């Protein structure tokens, strides 16, 4: 079941680039048997190998995708097509994961983990990087 979910997330994110001061692809992540406890910033830091004192910001899923998953009146046809792909990605996350949280780790070069629980109590999701100076 979990492998099907990671494949669905991979397909939904394939070819998409997270827009910031640079553009980075999405990667699927999976931590088996890690979802029995609540998802916390400390747990994500531990699972990703970041130092425990790394700055972490938790944001809502819709807020994180606010600039790429919502159509603006000034978008051209290519941008509108990209918006639809991001909307499909958000829908896929919501359909396949529960208790979704978005963690932004670091400053300037920020690692982003969009993580939720599967029905099998594994942690799964996608990760990317954003650059903000």
pLDDT attached to residue 34? 86
Report the CATH architecture of 2-131. Answer: 3-Layer(aba) Sandwich (3.40)
Q: Can you say whether residue 108 is alpha, beta or left, with left for phi > 0 and alpha for psi between -120 and 50 degrees?
A: left
**Predicted confidence band at 3 (pLDDT cuts at 50, 70, 90)?**
confident
* Domain residue spans of the chain: 2-131
Q: What does pTM read for this prediction?
A: 0.94
For 117, phi and psi rounded to 5 degrees? -100, 140
List pLDDT tens digits, range 79-114: 889 999 999 999 999 999 999 999 999 999 999 999
Strands across the sheet containing 123-131: 27-31, 123-131, 109-117, 98-105, 56-59
Assess whether pLDDT exceeds 80 at residue 2: no
List pLDDT tens digits, range 33-48: 888 888 999 999 999 9
């Amino acid at each position: 079941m979990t492998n099907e979910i990671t494949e669905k997330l991979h397909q939904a994110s394939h070819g998409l680039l997270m827009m910031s001061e640079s553009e980075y692809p999405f990667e699927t992540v999976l931590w088996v048997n890690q979802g029995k406890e609540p998802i916390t910033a400390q747990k994500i830091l531990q699972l990703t190998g970041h130092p425990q004192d790394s700055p972490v910001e938790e944001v809502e899923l819709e807020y994180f995708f606010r600039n790429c998953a919502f159509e603006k009146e000034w978008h051209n046809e290519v941008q509108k097509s990209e918006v639809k792909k991001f909307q499909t990605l958000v829908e896929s996350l919501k359909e396949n994961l529960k208790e979704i949280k978005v963690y932004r780790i670091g400053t300037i070069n920020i690692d982003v983990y969009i993580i939720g629980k599967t029905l099998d109590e594994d942690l799964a999701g996608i990760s990317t990087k954003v650059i903000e100076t």
